[in-house]
Structure 1
Amino acid sequence: MERMKDPLTLPGTATISSIAAGKDMDFSQRLAEARRRVEEIKRERLALQEGRLSDLREEHYVKFEVNGQVQYRLYPAGTYYCPRCKDLEKLYYRENGQIRARPCSCVQERLKVGRQQGWERKLSSARLRRKFRKRTFANFHVSSGTRIAYEAARDYAENFATYLRTGKSLVFLGDVGRGKTHLAAAILQEVLRQGFDGIFVVVIELLNEIRDTYERSDKKEGDLLQAVKEVDLLVLDDLAAAERFTEWEKGKLYEIINARYEDEKPIIITTNRTISWIEDRLGKKVVDRLLEMCGDILPLDGENYREKIAEDMRMGRNRELLPVEGGTG
């Protein structure tokens, strides 16, 4: 929409000359009316600039291009006619003492598409695969065996700003198909919506990607490690999926976990291994760091075993955690 810059020269509008040519008024009356209209238009422009809705006059001019010819039409003040969608809507309205504008329906649709595209780009930057973008709290199947893990995940996501300050982390334990990755993906998406950043990586793929940088000139190990060390929330999916780890792999995992531990940055870990299995394959240093960071270790059978694990460690007992039931997802 483009308002009149010079009402004396606009074609198809009430200008001084066109009003003065009227037959129902003498010349002085027509001239006075033309000047009044010009002053009204000036006041309207000033009112819009200063946000004074009460000063808007009853009409304004809208510029159109029809068959290559520019035309100006008169519309009620406070409305907008969109030549694309043929929508005539209230453009200016008062809300909480402020003058606001509402776009026409086609602009609203473009804005909606733009927001969705922006969200998809954010998910891609977080490395969350399309399959997992559908995993939300709303479609998680809550059962008696997953309720505690589900509620802990919801609380963590909703209060992430608090947990970010303390570095509190979570570990989800459970057999394949129990919903560990579902909850981790749901947490990450909620955290992203709150304006924080995050990265979702499958552990074995992360290690392979780091190793791959040694043979490529377009990627640097330092850049990748910096990203996973410094992001607000790091999700390490399927920790300890491999049967064996090399010393190099153990070292890289410890480097990442320890860096986040020292910077008090949270991690979410999913695994179908027990704590003792992880210690056997990855070493006591990794497990010690995880236990210090985690506010909760949650098997998806609903039981919180943090105190049990700590007690078993002190007593030197077997620290096996065997999830026995859970939800789908």
Structure 2
Amino acid sequence: MIKIGDTLEEFKKGFASGEYKLREDEYLDADGLPYCKKCKTKRFYCSEDKQWCIRSMCKCQEAARKKQEEEEAARKRMEEFNNRKALSLTGKRYRNLMFKDATITEHNSKAYQKASAYVEKSKEVFAENIGLYIYGDNSSGKTFLIACICNELVWKGYRCIYTNLATILNEIRGSYDRNGMGECTILRNLEYYDFAFIDDLGKEFLGREYNVASSKWAEEKFFEILNARYNAQKPTVFSSNYSIGELASVLGLDKAIVERINEMATRVIKLEGDDFRSTVRDEKSEIAKRLGI
């Protein structure tokens, strides 16, 4: 049989004889056993039958170890978060935005409530493949909102990609060169992410009547992009200046594309009434005035 430690009596004798040395932050109590000078709790552990007794941590040592483990876990979470954040492709302006950074108004409060619920229930949202379509006028805060959703989900450990259709189309065009990553690879990459965020949808098709061939190619590739996410059964979040209906009525997008977006966007959220860019411009103008500019 392997002996784990001394019996209680042997353990005591070890300290009494000086065979076992007390540490600087320890003292022997009346029972002849080591205790912590700081928290006054024991530095030993004995089995119920007293047949083995070994050194152990006191309460303040356990608290210090727990704190160190929590700090290390937090450091690792932050490191993983930053790595996932870099993969999400959010630009510098939006990379650190979270819900706490948002300016909540009477116009956007319901939108942020729904967005917060989306993140809070992310496990169910992901399992049920629930997407969002967020639209509104310029400067209404669409990009800010979906960046917050993306970053909150990244913090929770999800793999997210934040991009726009123009960027993806440029990647596909570049893939036709020998040094490109390949169109199939790009579509597989889109399938890989748990959540995909496609910002500012629709601007790519403005003025399409002046370049019909290019616009038709963009539509074909966009449908392939949608299918990649659709077939992967993973949620996609869209933002646009246009409602889903206006994608067809204003931009003239193919019916199949509009129907697919409508199917993938389980919930539609409209932002209206705020002009955050004007607010930011006014704040910067005041700063400039104070600087004498």
1:200 aligned to which of 156, 162, 170: 162
Q: In the TM superposition, what are the counterparts of 1:183-198 in structure 2 within 5 Å?
A: 183-198=145-160
Question: Residues 143 and 256 from structure 1, CA distance in 2 versus in 1: closer, same or farther, beyond 3 angstroms?
Answer: same
Residues 56-78 of structure 1: CA deviation (Å, up to 9, x unaligned): 54xxxxxxxxxxxxxxxxxxx74
In 1: Cα distance, 2:231 partner to 2:216 partner:
22
Indicate if the aligned counterparts of 1:146 and 1:327 stay in contact, CA closer than 8 A.
no
Alignment-derived partner of residue 270 in structure 1: 239
Q: For the pair shown, which has the larger CA radius of gyration, 1 or 2?
A: 1
Is 2:222 the counterpart of 1:253? yes
In 2: Cα distance, 1:225 partner to 1:284 partner:
22
In 1: Cα distance, 2:182 partner to 2:220 partner:
18
Is 2:80 the counterpart of 1:118? yes
- The TM-score, its normalising length taken from structure 1, stands at 0.61
> How far did residue 172 of structure 1 move?
0.9
Q: Residue 262 of structure 1 aligns to which amino acid in structure 2?
A: N
Higher helix proportion, which one?
Answer: 2
Of structures 1 and 2, the one with the larger relative CO (CA 8 A, separation 6+) is 2
Q: Secondary structure at the match of 2:238?
A: strand
Indicate if the aligned counterparts of 1:199 and 1:231 stay in contact, CA closer than 8 A.
yes
In 1: Cα distance, 2:165 partner to 2:134 partner:
14
Q: Choose 108-117 or 174-183, whichever is displaced more.
A: 108-117
Indicate if the aligned counterparts of 1:201 and 1:237 stay in contact, CA closer than 8 A.
yes
Q: Secondary structure at the match of 1:297?
A: strand
Q: Secondary structure at the match of 1:177?
A: coil
> How far did residue 220 of structure 1 move?
2.5
Higher strand proportion, which one?
Answer: 1
2:260 aligned to which of 273, 280, 289: 289
- The TM-score, its normalising length taken from structure 2, stands at 0.67
2:131 aligned to which of 169, 173, 180: 169
In 2: Cα distance, 1:258 partner to 1:176 partner:
28
> How far did residue 168 of structure 1 move?
1.5
Is 2:261 the counterpart of 1:326? no
Question: Residues 134 and 259 from structure 1, CA distance in 2 versus in 1: closer, same or farther, beyond 3 angstroms?
Answer: same
In 2: Cα distance, 1:263 partner to 1:109 partner:
36
In 1: Cα distance, 2:66 partner to 2:180 partner:
46
RMSD: 3.5
Aligned residue-pair number: 232
Is 2:271 the counterpart of 1:300? yes
Q: Secondary structure at the match of 2:133?
A: strand
Indicate if the aligned counterparts of 1:90 and 1:102 stay in contact, CA closer than 8 A.
no
1:37 aligned to which of 2, 20, 41: 20
Q: Which runs of 4+ in 1 moved over 6 A?
A: 107-111
Q: Residue 37 of structure 1 aligns to which amino acid in structure 2?
A: Y
Q: Percent same amino acid among aligned pairs?
A: 24
In 2: Cα distance, 1:129 partner to 1:246 partner:
26
In 1: Cα distance, 2:114 partner to 2:275 partner:
15
- Give unpaired runs (5+ residues) of structure 1: 1-28, 39-43, 45-50, 58-76, 80-88, 94-99, 302-324
Question: Residues 143 and 91 from structure 1, CA distance in 2 versus in 1: closer, same or farther, beyond 3 angstroms?
Answer: same
2:175 aligned to which of 194, 197, 213: 213
